């Protein structure tokens, strides 16, 4: 029996595509759902084009009621009975209540070498700090933002003339390698971290 994977996103979904495209052959998981909090997220069309069910749960009608949004999110996700949730550019902070429901079964990709640069603007912050290398991290999701056990990291050298944009593009290319590699292990029940390159 394959593990069923739900992927949550808010944007273009390039990581989602990399994950979907990896789940073939002897991979221990298969996609069950791609869900967005934004109806206009580009990732939804890409998932549908690949024959994967899509859903939208808009956070806006819930206003400041995060628990209300997360209840709706959880209910919609459960219709697809996933075993694993992959966050892939899902731009909503999840509360302890939601995280607890998926503890040990929800993973996220973040564009920095955690524990450095939790939150936003990671590439600009790495450049401002004069870091010689940047990268990305896949980690288990816990209640603390961009925290939780590290399941893999990919390192990318910083070039002298890098801008946040050029660095982001090189890191993103490595995200597309790292995330599928981690998901394959994670879905097989192996939490040994993946270190790239």
Positions touching ligand GRF (CB under 6 A) are 9, 11-16, 43, 88-89, 109-111, 136, 172, 175
Pick 82 or 122: Cβ nearer ligand GRF: 122
CB of 175 to ligand GRF, least distance (A): 5
Residue tagged active-site, from 59, 110, 139, 176: 110
Q: Please give the angle made by the CA atoms of 186, 54 and 87, to the nearest 5 degrees.
A: 35
Pick 16 or 47: Cβ nearer ligand GRF: 16
Closest CA to 110 of 146, 83, 145: 146
Residue 110 known to be catalytic: yes
Pick 70 or 146: Cβ nearer ligand GRF: 146
Contact (Cβ atoms closer than 8 angstroms) between residue 101 and residue 80: no
Other Cβ atoms within 10 Å of 162 Cβ, number: 18
CB of 32 to ligand GRF, least distance (A): 18
CB of 111 to ligand GRF, least distance (A): 4
Q: Which residues contact 35 (CB under 8 A, 6 or more apart)?
A: 6, 7, 8, 9, 54, 55, 56, 57, 73, 76, 77
- Active-site residue numbers? 110
């Amino acid at each position: 029996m394959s593990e069923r994977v739900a992927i949550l996103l808010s944007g273009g979904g390039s990581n989602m595509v990399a994950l979907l495209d990896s789940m073939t052959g002897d991979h221990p998981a298969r996609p069950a759902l791609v869900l967005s909090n934004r109806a206009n997220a580009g990732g939804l069309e890409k998932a549908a084009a690949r024959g994967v069910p899509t859903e939208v749960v808009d956070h806006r009608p819930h206003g400041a009621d995060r628990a209300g949004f997360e209840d709706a999110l959880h209910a919609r996700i459960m219709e697809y009975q996933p075993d694993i949730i992959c966050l892939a550019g899902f731009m909503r902070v999840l509360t302890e209540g939601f995280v607890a429901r998926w503890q040990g079964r929800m993973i996220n990709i973040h564009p920095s070498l955690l524990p450095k640069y939790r939150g936003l603007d990671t590439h600009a912050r790495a450049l401002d700090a004069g870091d010689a290398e940047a990268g990305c991290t896949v980690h288990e999701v816990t209640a603390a933002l961009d925290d939780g056990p590290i399941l893999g990291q990919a390192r990318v050298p910083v070039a002298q003339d890098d801008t946040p944009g050029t660095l982001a593009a090189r890191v993103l290319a490595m995200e597309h390698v790292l995330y599928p590699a981690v998901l394959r292990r994670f879905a097989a029940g192996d939490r040994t971290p993946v270190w790239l390159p």
